[in-house]
Amino acid sequence: MESNPEKVILIVDDERDVLLLFQMLMKRKVKVCHVAANGTEALDIIRKVDHLDCVITDISMPDMDGFELKDKLDELIPDVPVVGVTGHSDEDIVEKMRKAGFQHIIGKPVDREKLNEILDVIAG
């Protein structure tokens, strides 16, 4: 993905290393990369920012999982694409994510090439 200084994204993951990886990958690709360690932090950020182009969220998190967060995102920012990230290879989880309306699904460990392809689509 080429640099797109207009894009603003939010990354949500309870694993610090994953957040750091995403931040590193996004550094030159988007204008702002917000990060949140859980769904509650993510909702706080969403309520404070004027604009988001994409939310990338882990599915398995304490307190509020990615499915619960997706439901809340659909209420607050229904037009913003949500990418789900999962460490589960179980096809049932992936199918549940599709049915929940995640626009894209990324497995863990994160495949940088696939992530870049998804970001290219989102950047339009």
72/112: higher pLDDT: 72
pTM: 0.90
In this prediction, residues 90-99 reach a mean pLDDT of 91
15-44 residue pLDDT tens: 998 888 888 888 777 888 999 999 999 999
DSSP 66-106: HHHHHHHHHHH-TTS-EEEEES---HHHHHHHHHHT-SEEE
Q: How many CA within 13 A on the CB side of residue 106?
A: 24
Domain ranges in the chain?
4-123
Radius of gyration of the chain (CA): 13
pLDDT at 25: 81
pLDDT at 124: 58
Instruction: Report the alpha-carbon distance of residue 39 to residue 46 in Å, rounded.
Output: 10
Residue with tokens 């994409």: 54
Pairing type for strands 104-107 and 82-86 reads: parallel
Reported as a pLDDT band with limits 50, 70 and 90, residue 1 is: very low
| Whether CATH 3.40.50.2300 fits 4-123 | yes
- Is 4 a residue whose pLDDT tops 70? no
